[in-house]
A and B are shown apart, each in its own frame.
Chain A
């Protein structure tokens, strides 16, 4: 009984709190995030369902009452809009509103009870206060409306209901309450618990439901107490009060009416409502602190959700855990985190902005990084397969596979490592008689060792033949022209010929040799026209590229000789050539002070005998002259001197030294 009362009170309270609590919280938490709001709302609604399940029977009772008043309990949308309205109101000061709301309810109940017993009204009021406290407390603790512990609270609520004999449904606050409860809870109740016969509104109930709904709107009736009308219709016209009898007529009517004790006045519709016997029975039960539903058995057999018997493979018989329908605290925290982040602008809606590549970047940024070898790209090497069993391994092999005594003896005498196979074929009558294989573990171990220790390398074979490795040589025919036949041999030198040079006209050839001579050859015939003996190894001979003059340089030993082959040039050419080689000496004489012994080069005039052979300048250097080369204008001469410890390039000017 106490439990019943608790539940009823809880229902009542949950109905009251449901109107604003979730909405208030929503508004408070998600003022901007509409998506989140929607999802959380649905979650709260589902929780409502849970509550309804628990409080279903009471709802049923109230529902029946509400149907008497002609309210459509299935209309859920109205409730939603009401929720929204209230949410708007609650946005500013939810606590005040909360209190106000509950005050409304309690005053409703109070009002209802005041019609009945005045004495009880005091208790109801005080109880209401207590209830108020309790309710807020319970909400603050777990926010769920099912846990009621206070008996007084439940009793007071039941009493308040029970006292609402005549004007139980006359209050608009009550209307809203019931409408909300019934509409929401019916479906869930049916699906979870006992199925009661469907009550058809207007037919199944003995309450008259055919009269039109009050059309004056949500206006307190008291405002029109002194007026002949009770309000205005939608067109603004007055809705007149039905003609009422005076007190005497009422009395007389009451006297005549046997059902007067169960007639209640519906102020809104301005008519008397007759309470049916069932309703009276329910009211009585409530007044008696009993369960309103006569069919409800509070002492049903216990369902043992958790039995002492342990089933081997239990089907899931466990009740739904609380966690399944309680909004997750942690999820809520997580959502709050996201919400805060959104508010701070850390999370922005819309597509994530693409990370822009910097317009300028370092090309060599990763140049030094060695490309990592990707092992995953390597083809996986499959472990070598074990050989498939053959007839020898059969339990009943053909006779030719069986070992003869000699073979057996031989097999036994060989070292296990040298045996071709590590077993001898054996014959058994049936598979049943085959004993366990004693080497099984050993063999598996060996196999594991093979797989583990033998490196599986991908052997690369080069399918190259030797010809492909040879560089591809071009066809000699494509390389023409090239010298293909020996044309001339210039015979005469007795030492290695180190250098040759063709004169600018192409008619004469100079060659320098280790025998200390320079030879001048007629190019086309191979006739030696002249021999100069320089007495030292001739490293290089070089014609002056200037066609105006006929001069060549010879690097012999540590000297460079500038020679004019007089027989090759005509008078004019000889004059020009001699002028060239003499110019240097005249300029050197002009600025003698510049001459310095520290210079690595000394320009000397050869001896008269040498001059007769055409030598005009003898450039002596400290080291062996390996090479000389003319500038194409024919005035500058570069020489390379070389010895251990380094070489040096000297550039000489013939006309100025």
Chain B
């Protein structure tokens, strides 16, 4: 023990963030030092009055053990100089607020820092602001709302604000019309519950994924008139008359295109934020597919062994993150030729990973919500989650989380308990992410 504790190693400390830069000369430290000790050293070198926690990266991976442990694991010699990059540690997410709902929350999206759209199993889409006020309650769906997506389209008169998909097989675009927030149109055509909706980055189109194993592609703009005729042409005419649902009064929108290829329910869909016409979808057939919506071609099919419950694409890391029923998160590289290889598999959850969300301004950060009622924040440079956010109130404990959204520094999650949990995440990585993106560009 004594001899071991005296073993030392030369390290060189490097920082991407200029404000935390220290002299690059190698220093000799004991091998037993862990993250905390190294952080103290950096703080000492910086001469900070109030210590700032740092995380240390060796070879692109977070140092989670002592230095000796790392050397041992990689079977490296202690005589070489070890280069340690350090970044400011992300502070643990802090719960800001909790908005209570009557029924299960199935989906949540933050349109802005002050506008949270919550879809609920009671078929109502609610609009909250940051002051814990329910701004609007939008009734229109016959059945549970399964997904919501924020959008910004249209002029001053008619503006689409968000879209909700429901088990009643319709997606309704909600927006401001004539100063009032109401349903602008209903996108009809799916024969089964709509599980996911995604709006393209330029806010012109959106796609919906359904359990009828199809993905439909719609334009976002409100139609001038109801497109029932198109729908009726496409389907059997007599059925149109039978339609007596509550939202029948809404203007009908027909899909531009239908993407068929999944052999099971499609649970999730998202746009490639870099490439407007490309979407990614995942479903119960264990596949993660890449589609070209313009041509309607299934460009790639990546298979894993487990049901895909949610999918998200990061423009910064250009990776797809998928949440699975086998309690794991998988990261895919859609550009990879070897389309079957999962780049990374993150396992820590104890239940279905119902939702994943990339950090909007980081190439490494990732959040996931699971049926085990926890939110986990990941840095993909580490295989262990950075933070695990447990439910704070007894009401939420043991309740499944079904929805998650990461908007700027806000982390919103909701689920079985009906409470919308809003967490604040420090965005210390912003600069680093930006610099990284710039460097890559």
Q: Which residues of A contact B (CB under 8 A)?
A: 485, 487-488, 505-507, 524-527, 529, 567, 570-573, 575
Closest CB of chain B to A572's CB: distance in Å? 6
Q: Give complex CA distance A485, B349 in Å.
A: 12
CB-based contact B236/A572 at 8 Å: yes
Interface of B is mostly: loop
CB-based contact A572/B211 at 8 Å: no
Q: Give complex CA distance A485, B371 in Å.
A: 13
Interface assignment of B192: CB less than 8 Å from any CB of chain A: yes
Closest CB of chain A to B373's CB: distance in Å? 13
Residues of A contacting B371 in the complex (Cβ-Cβ under 8 angstroms): 487-488
Closest CB of chain A to B51's CB: distance in Å? 40
Extra contacts, 6 of them, besides A505-B211, A507-B211, A527-B416 (Cβ < 8 A), are A485-B327, A485-B350, A487-B352, A506-B284, A571-B239, A572-B236
Output the nearest chain A residue to B265 by Cβ-Cβ distance: A507
CB-based contact B143/A506 at 8 Å: no
CB-based contact A487/B192 at 8 Å: no
Known A485-B327, A487-B371, A505-B211; contact A524-B264, beta-carbon cutoff 8 A: no
Residues of B contacting A487 in the complex (Cβ-Cβ under 8 angstroms): 325, 351-352, 371
Q: Give complex CA distance A573, B169 in Å.
A: 13
Residues of A contacting B284 in the complex (Cβ-Cβ under 8 angstroms): 506
Interface assignment of B224: CB less than 8 Å from any CB of chain A: no
Count the B residues whose beta carbon is within 8 Å of the partner chain — how many?
34
Residues of A contacting B236 in the complex (Cβ-Cβ under 8 angstroms): 572
Output the nearest chain A residue to B190 by Cβ-Cβ distance: A570
Interface assignment of B147: CB less than 8 Å from any CB of chain A: no
CB-based contact A567/B167 at 8 Å: yes
Q: Give complex CA distance A571, B245 in Å.
A: 10
Interface hub of B243, B264, B371 (most chain A Cβ within 10 A): B371
Known A506-B284, A525-B400; contact A570-B104, beta-carbon cutoff 8 A: no
Interface assignment of B309: CB less than 8 Å from any CB of chain A: yes
CB-based contact B264/A525 at 8 Å: no
Residues of B contacting A571 in the complex (Cβ-Cβ under 8 angstroms): 239, 242-243
Q: Which residues of B contact A (CB under 8 A)?
A: 104, 106, 121, 142-144, 167-169, 191-193, 211, 235-236, 239, 242-243, 264-265, 267, 284, 307, 309, 325, 327, 350-352, 354, 371, 400, 402, 416
Residues of A contacting B121 in the complex (Cβ-Cβ under 8 angstroms): 527
CB-based contact A575/B242 at 8 Å: yes
Q: Give complex CA distance A488, B243 in Å.
A: 35
Closest 10 CB pairs of A and B: A570-B191, A571-B239, A571-B242, A507-B211, A567-B143, A570-B169, A572-B239, A527-B104, A507-B265, A527-B121
Residues of B contacting A570 in the complex (Cβ-Cβ under 8 angstroms): 169, 191-192
Between A and B, 27 residue pairs with Cβ closer than 8 Å are A487-B352, A488-B352, A505-B211, A505-B265, A506-B265, A507-B265, A524-B267, A524-B307, A524-B309, A524-B352, A525-B104, A525-B106, A525-B354, A525-B400, A525-B416, A526-B400, A526-B416, A529-B144, A567-B142, A567-B143, A567-B167, A567-B168, A570-B169, A570-B191, A571-B242, A572-B236, A573-B191
Partner of A575, one of B143, B239, B309: B239
Q: Give complex CA distance A328, B301 in Å.
A: 111
Q: Give complex CA distance A529, B239 in Å.
A: 25
Output the nearest chain A residue to B309 by Cβ-Cβ distance: A524
Residues of A contacting B325 in the complex (Cβ-Cβ under 8 angstroms): 487, 524
Output the nearest chain B residue to A487 by Cβ-Cβ distance: B352
Q: Give complex CA distance A86, B17 in Å.
A: 148
Q: Give complex CA distance A529, B284 in Å.
A: 20
Residues of B contacting A527 in the complex (Cβ-Cβ under 8 angstroms): 104, 121, 144, 416
Output the nearest chain A residue to B213 by Cβ-Cβ distance: A505
CB-based contact A506/B239 at 8 Å: no
Output the nearest chain B residue to A574 by Cβ-Cβ distance: B242
Residues of A contacting B104 in the complex (Cβ-Cβ under 8 angstroms): 525, 527
Known A487-B325, A487-B351, A572-B236; contact A506-B264, beta-carbon cutoff 8 A: yes
Residues of A contacting B168 in the complex (Cβ-Cβ under 8 angstroms): 567
Q: Give complex CA distance A621, B236 in Å.
A: 40
Output the nearest chain A residue to B238 by Cβ-Cβ distance: A575
